[in-house]
Structure 1
């Protein structure tokens, strides 16, 4: 059995990863300001009681290093949703680099980091440029081995957890016309949160032998690797939101006229931001969705085909999808 640190171990994908680790008998350290699960499933009360929560305080190197001491594996799902209040994605990458260096110095044997598909340091999209900067820091930090998972989005398990799909459905249920920027022909290939957790768990195994069976985190010989974290469905934006609208019984039309810029679409959503106190669409996120970078880098990865279907999931949760608005600002910045 191993001692494992998970940033955000009680948050979104971290909860599902923590459940897999606990079920395998490992000790889990939750590095976060969140001491209660974001939602009850899949953790039982008895599971939560086994998790040790320590602050992810980048300003206190001594305490953060102490929290990592004795851990065999660090799973880093840490990132910032928005660049706001003076914070930036580049600064988040610097914090990740500090975390990776501390982990190496206290003896962590493997670090697993969630990056993004097609992330490059010179990307015009700050979100994934920062991810690439953090991944580069991991590759060069000197830890015995590492793994990088490359998602472009995560959905599931319930409607309320999947903010993008839920809030798009919320809008579709209430407006007569749902407009998309550009032609709506760029594809989006997200992964189900349970598949994401399983991939992270598998990437954290320390030996090739254990990667196929058993509890996995028992020795120190597995090479570093990088894998796409994508699902089998890669609909175009137009296909996705039309499917979503049909699933929730929306009466309005979904259109991509081909000439609407992303900045105009985000301006059209500002009344919703004012009403909800949230950010429904971040302009940079919308640009990224239309960039062609939200698909697998390795489409021939056989594991992709066996994962859960986005389109089927939408149909399964359609009765509750979009019934209530879910604030990303409250979830990621205020709720603890």
Structure 2
């Protein structure tokens, strides 16, 4: 099938990169990114820089584009990168898309995004969903829970600590449900939306089975050959340990709001579209297990520090 001209935010990143990989070579793919120099696709993907101070300068990126794939957001407030600003910047991107004659937006959200949430991450994700729905263009809003694969932060860093520490603390009893999905499977659903499927819907997406977080951590431990003792701990104690780790690593490992979202089962949705390989089968593959946790994947290094 011939693909339309597509603009993707963050093709140098984890999810955007997986979608670009699926489309590159079969479509005219462009990327809007903070790090145009990090274009691993060569001439298969044209990179353009964000310019929110002068949004008219992004017109070339949108010129002739038929589908805009948006995964732009922030994990937490850091300096001038805030949830509020991410909402307004997304509003600017959507306006540029509408002005350029884009016919469809494929938006990457998160499970249980809700403007009424007391957690800013989920609240502002909900606000962005609304502006996408109300923009007047065809759209697909995809709501993954946990997306895993080469370069993901959460699972990789769980493996990183399991490989190095004798004790791994887990929030509460770890019995909250999660829905891991491979990044390749998620990219496949996104490409279906790019090709015209899933029109004007909000779609929870997940892997083929639900997991309890404790069991997911145990599966990672077994896959990487760790003997770490997994110990339930009150959230305050576990977060204190993560803050110390963050100071040593020069990063924000996990925020209190992310912990609340996890333990409240925000990373679980009823009746999602299910695709891809089961997490247990995926993580035990030798090629996956051998690469997980070999190095720490830092949010600040990835998004807030100059490319080298």
- If the length of structure 1 is used for normalisation, what is the TM-score? 0.84
- Deviation for aligned residue 1:76: 0.4
User: Is the 1:8–1:77 Cα contact (8 Å) retained in structure 2?
Assistant: yes
Give the structure 1 partner of residue 85 of structure 2.
91
User: Is the 2:193–2:199 Cα contact (8 Å) retained in structure 1?
Assistant: no
Secondary structure in structure 2 of the residue aligned to 1:319: helix
Give the structure 1 partner of residue 298 of structure 2.
327
Secondary structure in structure 2 of the residue aligned to 1:313: helix
Give the structure 2 partner of residue 312 of structure 1.
281
| Residue 33 of structure 2 is aligned to residue 28 of structure 1 | no
Give the structure 2 partner of residue 6 of structure 1.
8
Give the structure 2 partner of residue 153 of structure 1.
146
After superposing on structure 2, the runs of 4+ consecutive aligned residues of structure 1 that deviate more than 6 Å are none
| Residue 240 of structure 2 is aligned to residue 280 of structure 1 | no
- Deviation for aligned residue 1:323: 2.5
Matches for 1:141-220 after TM superposition, within 5 Å? 141-143=135-137, 145-156=138-149, 158=150, 161-206=151-196, 211=197
- Deviation for aligned residue 1:10: 2.5
Matches for 1:47-66 after TM superposition, within 5 Å? 48-66=42-60
Give the structure 2 partner of residue 219 of structure 1.
none
What does the per-residue CA deviation read over 1:236-273, in whole Å, with 9 as the maximum and x for residues that have no partner? 1211112222222222211225xx1x233111122221
Secondary structure in structure 2 of the residue aligned to 1:226: strand
Secondary structure in structure 2 of the residue aligned to 1:18: helix
Secondary structure in structure 1 of the residue aligned to 2:16: helix
Give the structure 1 partner of residue 205 of structure 2.
229
Give the structure 1 partner of residue 74 of structure 2.
80
- Unaligned ranges ≥5, structure 2: none
> Which deviates more, 7-16 or 127-136?
7-16
The verdict on how the C-alpha distance between 1:123 and 1:66 changes in structure 2, with shifts beyond 3 A counting, is same
Secondary structure in structure 1 of the residue aligned to 2:87: helix
- Unaligned ranges ≥5, structure 1: 212-221
Give the structure 2 partner of residue 250 of structure 1.
226
| Residue 293 of structure 2 is aligned to residue 292 of structure 1 | no
User: Is the 1:7–1:56 Cα contact (8 Å) retained in structure 2?
Assistant: no
- Deviation for aligned residue 1:173: 2.0
The verdict on how the C-alpha distance between 1:148 and 1:266 changes in structure 2, with shifts beyond 3 A counting, is same
> Which deviates more, 54-63 or 320-329?
320-329
Whole-angstrom distance in 1 between the partners of 2:199 and 2:171: 42
- If the length of structure 2 is used for normalisation, what is the TM-score? 0.91
Whole-angstrom distance in 1 between the partners of 2:205 and 2:232: 28
The verdict on how the C-alpha distance between 1:250 and 1:22 changes in structure 2, with shifts beyond 3 A counting, is closer
Secondary structure in structure 2 of the residue aligned to 1:269: helix
- Deviation for aligned residue 1:324: 2.1
Structure holding more strand per residue: 2
What does the per-residue CA deviation read over 1:195-221, in whole Å, with 9 as the maximum and x for residues that have no partner? 111111111123xxxx5xxxxxxxxxx
The verdict on how the C-alpha distance between 1:66 and 1:35 changes in structure 2, with shifts beyond 3 A counting, is closer
